[in-house]
Amino acid sequence: NFMLTQPHSVSESPGKAVTISCTRSSGNIASNYVQWYQQRPGSSPTNVIYEDNQRPSGVPDRFSGSLDSSSNSASLTISGLTTEDEADYYCQSYDSNNWVFGGGTRLTVL
């Protein structure tokens, strides 16, 4: 079993870029696909990145996903921040066929 660790919160100014990390505690981050979900207040989660770096249709190309084997982590980068990006972001991967979620990161755009 492994855990996914995210920073509790990040903040950045409009127009800037921010990167949210998701570190896997054991095993290779590249062993299983990583997904990222955005959850705005009062709404259900929506997928913004799947299979490490794939963007669903309708998600702006300001959102990108990557893996870093040196830190055994996945990252979500959002560029050109707007106030609409203010939300909670969750990473998710698989342990065998079991889902594992990170604890979530609160993004504040101010």
Q: Cα–Cα distances in Å, from 76 out to 1, 59, 69, 104?
A: 23, 13, 15, 12
Encoded amino acid at 105, one letter:
T
Contact between 90 and another protein by CB under 8 A: the answer reads: yes
Distance (Å, whole) CA 68 – CA 90: 17
Contact between 51 and another protein by CB under 8 A: the answer reads: yes
Nearest approach, Cβ of 35 to another protein (angstroms)?
Answer: 6
Contact between 2 and another protein by CB under 8 A: the answer reads: no
Contact between 65 and another protein by CB under 8 A: the answer reads: no
Task: Single out the residue of 2, 50, 53, 62 in contact with another protein (rule: CB under 8 A).
Answer: 50
Chain contacts with another protein (rule: CB under 8 A): 35, 37, 44-47, 50-51, 54, 56, 90, 92, 96-104
